[in-house]
A and B are shown apart, each in its own frame.
Chain A
Amino acid sequence: MRTLALCAAVLVAGLAACAGGDVGSPSAPPAAPATATPTTDDAGSDAAEGGSAWAWDLPPGFPAPRVPADNPMNASKVALGRRLFYDVRLSGNETFSCGSCHEQKLAFTDGRATAVGSTGGLHPRASMSLSDVAYASGLTWANPLMTSLEKQALVPMFGNDPVELGSPDEAALLARLGGDPEYAPLFRDAFPEKAAPSLDAVVKAIAAFERTLISGRSPYDRHVAGDPTALSPSAKRGMDMFFSERLECYHCHTGFAFSDSIVHEGSAFFELSYHNTGLYNVDGAGAYPTGNRGLIDLTDKPADMGKFRAPTLRNIAVTAPYMHDGSVLTLEDALDHYGAAGRTIASGPNAGDGSQNPLKDDLIRGFVLTASEKTDVIAFLESLTDASFLADPRHSNPFSSPQRPPAP
């Protein structure tokens, strides 16, 4: 997660409203209940009461995530997924794990502008934060077909342009994992309905672990819960600007997860939006740089040029640099980008006036902030940092040795 589009309005208390609101749509897909027993209507449901019961540890005011019917949560599965997430055996050369590009202390980002894979291949996009990824209705920066964490896990494993993990094929991967005696009982307890470990089980376990990466105990959350000392006066002023029509930030970064593309157990509708924020305009007609054009690369629709998903702003202060390509280095720069209603690049192959991008979202209108106001808005954004999440031992690397090799 690396974007931020600023917005504003005042009703902080309304933030949590979408959480509990529309529970119980008859058309909503099956979702896991907030406690223990998973529901499933899939084959093998008679055995689906996996390993151990599951209870979400949700921050106050947070709804339960929506869970696929064929991958109910259980504690063994989460433990298995955590181990797999941090296991370098998933990469072809056994140097990288999921955690190499998704470091807990950086809200599961990597601190780079754009990601680097296990073999040195350069990714065109920035590693996204996994904060509250369970609630993301769409995954990655701009892929409307990628709405399941299970399916998404195959991309870093097997994608080869660029190579990310470069995982070996199923049989070789399972043979590798079989060398770790801790896996057999974990697989068995996590998937009692499965006779043996499988690629399907691997991606389901990783997805289950990712769904537990819920961040909602920041100073801002304590403020919402009624603690008058949780936010500094500066952060409170910044909050008022964030939720104002002057800055317009909150339209895209809305709700408990600070994103307009959110789904959860109680969602009656499916919302998934993409926005062009005027970051580029290389041809005067709205084009983004070739090879990194956003939604249009999937849909082939001209109007989708430069459109990307608004990621959550939770823990945004620790996930620099920002935007899909890491081309905005700091929160100050991000505010300047939105303040100018789009970025102007004076020279080079990407030169252009983003503020004149004809495909730009009409809420990117620009604003002027004094230096102290800018400081206030940033103080508010920093109040979204959840220190307990960044240090939660349940999310940490279970392996003792360092998992990340030196930067290439």
Chain B
Amino acid sequence: MTRRSVAFATMTLCALSSATLAITACSDDATSPAASPDAAITPAPTSTTDAAPPPVADGSTDASPSTLAVTIDFAARVGVLPFTCEATYASLGTSMVSVGFTDFRFYVHAVELVRADGVSVPLTLTQDAKWQEQDVALLDFEDGKEGCATDGTPDMNTTVKGSVPAGTYKGLKFIVGVPFAKNHANQAIAPSPLNLGKMFWSWNAGYKFAKIDSRPEGMNGDGGPNPTFNFHLGSTACQGDAADGGTVTSCGKPNRLPVSMPLYELGKSKVVFDYAALVSGSDLLVNSGPSGCMSFPGDPECAAVFERLGVDYATGAPTVTPGTAFKLE
């Protein structure tokens, strides 16, 4: 390995800007829980329907004074350090091991800004035919180098871009994952970013909502060379109509994560996903069954990871107490 080793002392710190850490799981406030066949679907904001969003000046976000162009910045971190495929990060998990990475991507959808009067307003995503499709966006922090060379691509995307009606906003909401209707449609003809093979989770009839894969040094692998501690988030316990091509009709454990950041400020705040926090309760040297946490029922490594994320592994619904992996700064 030629990666440079980056040691750091306190991995849980996150340079948070003062009082901003307030992620709530937006569990009960929203409406229409029956909108999706998922058994424990996240409270669905009004924007989660699968109808195409209304056209906004042909996808561009400039233009008329009646709309406000918005860029939501995201960042991937490992503790206080920025994520990169080329670094090795020390002292992660309960066994304090060094970790390199092979991937770091996740989908979000139903992005909303909160207006001054408290009303959530859907962000109309710019349709770029690459990172954003209808109300779904892929955030991609890997650059295809070093450890990420196998699964990754050079292209990266750390923002969600779109527009809202002009106004004053404070507060951000989004859901990690792919919405139900898109999650179980035909992947072979899906538009980008839903046609990346590495994000297919075809055996379980959906997509990996998140694919964050690491290589802890010293891990004993039972899955072949270069043992990995993968984190693949996706809906599980899905039921389908077997006679109709296995069309999925519902998923017992949706495993979508609604994130609400009431202190988010447009143009100032940044949404941070912290891998060190995600695995702070996991022993990265220990694995049984699939590599790391692959979301499906009975994976011994999942409970701790899900708890930090903010999803109840037992039910697939958001936890009452928010997870610690997503932060605002």
Contact = CB atoms under 8 A, between A and B. Distances in A.
Interface of A: 29, 68, 92, 116-117, 119-122, 137-138, 140, 143-148, 150-152, 154-155, 157-162, 166-170, 198-200, 202-203, 270, 272, 290-293, 296-300
B224 A121 contact: yes
A202 B187 CA distance: 13
Contacts, number: 124
Contacts of A200: 186, 188-189
16 contacts: A29-B244, A121-B223, A121-B224, A140-B203, A144-B240, A151-B205, A154-B197, A158-B202, A161-B290, A200-B189, A202-B188, A270-B243, A290-B298, A296-B298, A297-B297, A299-B237
Nearest to B202: A154
A151 B244 CA distance: 12
Contacts of A144: 240, 242, 246
A138 B188 contact: no
Contact of A300 (B202, B222, B236, B289): B236
Interface in B227-242: 230, 232, 236-240, 242
Given A92-B150, A119-B150, A154-B202, A137 B242 contact: yes
Interface residues of B, number: 45
Binding site secondary structure of chain A: loop
Given A147-B243, A168-B197, 19 more contacts: A119-B150, A120-B225, A145-B205, A147-B246, A148-B246, A151-B187, A155-B203, A158-B202, A169-B195, A169-B196, A199-B188, A200-B188, A200-B189, A270-B243, A272-B242, A290-B298, A297-B298, A298-B237, A298-B296
Contacts of B196: 169
A57 B290 CA distance: 42
A166 to B, nearest CB: 8
Given A159-B202, A300-B252, A154 B246 contact: no
B294 interface: yes
Interface of B: 150-151, 153, 186-189, 195-198, 200, 202-205, 222-225, 230, 232, 236-240, 242-246, 248, 252-253, 288-291, 294, 296-300
Contacts of A68: 245
Contacts of A29: 243-244
A160 B242 CA distance: 25
A119 B202 CA distance: 19
